[in-house]
Structure 1
Amino acid sequence: MIETTPRRSTALTGLVIVAAVTSFGLTACAADQTDAAAPPGTPHGKSSGGGKGLPGAADGKLPAGTSAFDTDLPGIGKLDPELRKAVQQAEKAMKADGIPMQVTTGWRSKKYQIELMDKAIKQYGSREKAKKYVADPDESHHVTGHAVDIGPTNADDWLIRKGNRYGLCQTYSNEIWHFELVTTPGGDCPPMTTPS
């Protein structure tokens, strides 16, 4: 069982959580990143989703290597402005520390969130089991623009340790990549939610 830990987690705690999450399978958020790269010749992945009605850049899908400064992408541009500013500040500080950071997902349309939920239901066998890994569209903080997923793992670890300087906190114990603006800069992060 994954315990809810204080926000100032150590790298070891992050690795334990990664191992636990991996043993249960990747969440739809992380699993979806494998197809997040833009087709060749498409700047910033601005496709409509391949013409199959699948979510594309207009729905918030981000290409690999997306920066918090790529505001021309709806997934970044439609984030809550205060959250976007905090993530940009954290990205600058990480870069100064020699750590590359990317936003793997930010704002998402309801359509995109529905697709992620549908994939999770197929993977886990029921909506109730899927909800341990993917929020319903009406409950997702990505749909409201109040959440970001960050990668790679060393950037997640940096944010877990130092993100509160910018008001950013890991909010789910089973998602080391998911951050929200839930404290004032320099404040303490609240306890994480542990999905049941």
Structure 2
Amino acid sequence: MTEREAARTTAHRVLGVADGAVPAGTTVFDDGVPAVANLAPALLGALRRAATAAADDGVAFAVNGGWRSPDYQSRLRRRAVSRYGSETEAARWVATPETSPHVSGDAVDLGPGTARAWLSEHGAGYGLCQVYRNEPWHYELRPEAAEHGCPPMYPDPSHDPRMRP
């Protein structure tokens, strides 16, 4: 196989569960799903404690996004550029593989709305904070939130200094 053919094969390969795609019905307890299993241990522990408490209130957490491979994140970024028309607009919704907290295992996207409402009320006690105002599903671990509450949200990822290469 030539170098060009190998590059084309890599670019067109299907990115699946091994790259961080999340099967429907995935929970924070699904260790067999890489998007969950590859989350940072402290984030995963906080999510599991919160999910257990939420279940006592009749609320279930669904994982819609978690850890992602750099290839998967890159594909999401390219789709966002195509959808929003520019790198600048795409940056409001999707980080690059180099800056994404999903690639490092430090972010999770949760649903449904009842789970997000529960986290909005109780998440800080577990250190789980919504980081971006435009992404109510995106949560990251902020351990200091248990004592001080969640920090102010950024309007969107393009305002987060961590997103700058």
Runs of 4+ more than 3 Å apart: none
* Residue equivalent to 2:155: 194
Q: What residue identity is the alignment partner of 1:112? A: Y
Larger radius of gyration: 2
* Residue equivalent to 1:137: 97
**Following superposition of structure 1 onto structure 2, how do residues 155-170 of structure 1 map, counting pairs within 5 Å?**
155-170=115-130
Q: What residue identity is the alignment partner of 2:93? A: Y
RMSD: 1.2
Given that 1:170 and 1:177 are in contact with CA atoms closer than 8 Å, whether structure 2 keeps it comes out as yes
1:140-186 deviations in Å (ceiling 9; x for gaps): 00000000000001111111111011110000111111000013362
* Residue equivalent to 2:6: none
Which blocks of at least 5 consecutive residues in structure 1 are unaligned? 1-51
Distance 1:91 1:64 in 2: 17
Given that 1:169 and 1:183 are in contact with CA atoms closer than 8 Å, whether structure 2 keeps it comes out as no
Distance 1:88 1:104 in 2: 15
TM-score between both structures, scaled by the size of structure 2: 0.84
Distance 1:99 1:117 in 2: 31
**Structure (1/2) with the larger helix percentage:** 2
1:110-150 deviations in Å (ceiling 9; x for gaps): 11101111111111111111111111111100000000000
Q: Are residues 1:151 and 2:151 paired?
A: no
Given that 1:183 and 1:189 are in contact with CA atoms closer than 8 Å, whether structure 2 keeps it comes out as no
Q: Which has the higher contact order (CA 8 A, sep 6+)?
A: 1
Distance 1:66 1:82 in 2: 19
TM-score between both structures, scaled by the size of structure 1: 0.71
Which blocks of at least 5 consecutive residues in structure 2 are unaligned? 1-11, 159-165
Distance 2:39 2:49 in 1: 15
Q: What residue identity is the alignment partner of 2:155? A: T
Over the matched positions of the two proteins, sequence identity in percent amounts to 45
Distance 2:118 2:124 in 1: 10
* Residue equivalent to 2:8: none
Count of residues in Structure 1 that have an aligned counterpart in Structure 2: 145
* Residue equivalent to 1:22: none
Distance 1:59 1:66 in 2: 15
